[in-house]
Amino acid sequence: MTHRIRPAFFSALLVIALSVPVFGLKLTTEGIALIVEGATASTYWIIAACAVGMFFWTLFHERLAAGWAASPNLPRILAGAGSFLTLPSTQRWIICTLIVVALVWPFFGSRGAVDIATLILIYVMLGLGLNIVVGLAGLLDLGYVGFYAVGAYTYALLSEYFGFGFWSALPIAGAMAALFGFLLGFPVLRLRGDYLAIVTLGFGEIIRILLRNMTDITGGPNGISGIEKPTLFGLSFDRRAEEGMQTFHQFFGLEYESIHKVIFLYLIAVLLVLLTLFVINRLLRMPIGRAWEALREDEIACRALGMNPTIIKLSAFTLGATFAGFAGSFFAARQGLVSPESFTFIESAIILAIVVLGGMGSQLGVILAATVMILLPELMREFSEYRMLMFGALMVVMMIWRPQGLLPMQRPHLELKP
């Protein structure tokens, strides 16, 4: 154990050093003495406790780990539950239950909760789309938010200049995002790994900066506002309808309530997520789905089998972009406002975190992770200053505890007829 003492001391010192930026402490010189500013007595106690805790942890954690491994009960139960949860049949049941719950609860939930749920669903859609690119085809895409922006602006511009409604613009937005995915994919897909990540990262930024600077068309940093909200077969959800239109509450003879609109938006989001899930599930069972995974495993072997890696990658890239386009146009419709600031790199990072956290390739995992990633910051508003710190901590804990993700994928089996 003596050999652990030095690293233990070092860790404790590191805790103290790190506490300075984390707690926003200021070091100032007063004469020849160094003074710490901005700390109360309790802050000192917290830092001291953390340092002591870290000291002992570093000293003893090997023994603790050994003790943990020696007591077989806990981990085994966890592992059993984990593999049960990730079985395809279980996942199907869970998804069915989730769908029913998702369709029913908003009628009893509060307005704020439904609104947050809608936001979560947007991220689920984005996560599912990126999951194709990163989780299945293994192409690290850090500029995914670019396609999201393309979708959002497509609808915003169509609505602003040509008076398109949400439903007619939705497929166009998807197609535009797909086109951008295709155009970007063509030159960059010969790159691999880190290089691909950097180029896609650049692409995301280019889109954002382009949108900010094409002031004449996109309104620059102010964005586009007053985007039309979705309608239900021509019934709007506003208090008063425009001329020649009818509102939802008039048509059904209800009192006007603003929550109708929120629930309606939520239901559209559920619909879009279901559509995404359905399409991806179908694709996974088709040869192209397996080809994506095969490509992730071994590109050379794929070529040896006569497959064309470029086409397979391009299909994954384009399809992933399409779903981002759908999500983007829905986002624009929900907000009624788009501006370049909604499409910064941190959005790409959050979507990627959702995919990684959920377990690469796992759809249920993506849903769970999106819920966690969006809900946690909302629930912990008091700690909003430490939000990024918590993301970081969450990622570190995940990589240690469950590197394969919350609910890693167990792939559907191809069935052989006897």
Partner 1 sequence: MLYFTNVSTCYGKIQALHEVNVEVRKGEIVTLIGANGAGKSTLLMTLCGSPQAASGSIRYEGEELVGLQTPQIMRKSIAVVPEGRRVFARLTVEENLAMGGFFTAKQDFQEQMDRVLTLFPRLKERLEQRAGTMSGGEQQMLAIGRALMSKPKLLLLDEPSLGLAPIIIQQIFEIIEQLREDGVTIFLVEQNANQALKLADRGYVLENGHIVMQGTGEELLADPKVRDAYLGG
What's the CA gap between 88 and 414, in Å, rounded?
12
Which of residues 54 and 314 has its CB atom nearest to partner 1 in the complex?
Answer: 314
Q: Please report how close the Cβ of residue 414 comes to partner 1 at its closest, in angstroms.
A: 6
Q: Kindly report the backbone phi and psi dihedral angles of residue 33, in degrees, each rounded to the nearest multiple of 5, phi listed first.
A: -95, 150
Q: Please report how close the Cβ of residue 144 comes to partner 1 at its closest, in angstroms.
A: 23
Q: Please report how close the Cβ of residue 309 comes to partner 1 at its closest, in angstroms.
A: 8
What's the CA gap between 204 and 149, in Å, rounded?
9
Q: Please report how close the Cβ of residue 187 comes to partner 1 at its closest, in angstroms.
A: 18
Contact 415, 368 (CB under 8 A): no
Which of residues 284 and 364 has its CB atom nearest to partner 1 in the complex?
Answer: 284
Which of residues 66 and 304 has its CB atom nearest to partner 1 in the complex?
Answer: 304
Strand partners, 34: 29
What's the CA gap between 409 and 292, in Å, rounded?
14
Q: Please report how close the Cβ of residue 139 comes to partner 1 at its closest, in angstroms.
A: 16
β-pairing, 26-30 vs 33-37, is antiparallel
Which of residues 33 and 414 has its CB atom nearest to partner 1 in the complex?
Answer: 414
Which of residues 363 and 371 has its CB atom nearest to partner 1 in the complex?
Answer: 363
Q: Which of 334, 373, 333, 330 is nearest to 351 (CA)?
A: 373
Q: Please report how close the Cβ of residue 77 comes to partner 1 at its closest, in angstroms.
A: 24
Query: Can you count the helices (H) and strands (E) in the chain?
Result: 17, 6
- CA pseudo-torsion sign 184, 185, 187, 193: positive
Q: What is the gyration radius of the CA atoms in the chain, in angstroms?
A: 25
Q: Residues 6 or more apart from 282 whose CB is under 8 A from it?
A: none
Which of residues 250 and 281 has its CB atom nearest to partner 1 in the complex?
Answer: 281
Which of residues 34 and 414 has its CB atom nearest to partner 1 in the complex?
Answer: 414
Q: Please report how close the Cβ of residue 293 comes to partner 1 at its closest, in angstroms.
A: 6
The Cβ of residue 159 has, within 10 Å, a number of other Cβ atoms equal to 23
Residue 166 CB-half CA count within 13 A: 26
State how far the alpha carbon of 314 is from the alpha carbons of 172, 216, 301, in Å: 20, 33, 18
Q: Please report how close the Cβ of residue 412 comes to partner 1 at its closest, in angstroms.
A: 10
Which of residues 302 and 375 has its CB atom nearest to partner 1 in the complex?
Answer: 302
| Residue at 227: amino acid letter | I
Chain contacts with partner 1 (rule: CB under 8 A): 287, 290-291, 293-294, 297-298, 300-308, 411, 413-414, 416-417
Q: Please report how close the Cβ of residue 53 comes to partner 1 at its closest, in angstroms.
A: 39
Which of residues 21 and 306 has its CB atom nearest to partner 1 in the complex?
Answer: 306
The Cβ of residue 291 has, within 10 Å, a number of other Cβ atoms equal to 22
The Cβ of residue 11 has, within 10 Å, a number of other Cβ atoms equal to 18
Q: What is the DSSP letter of 189?
A: T
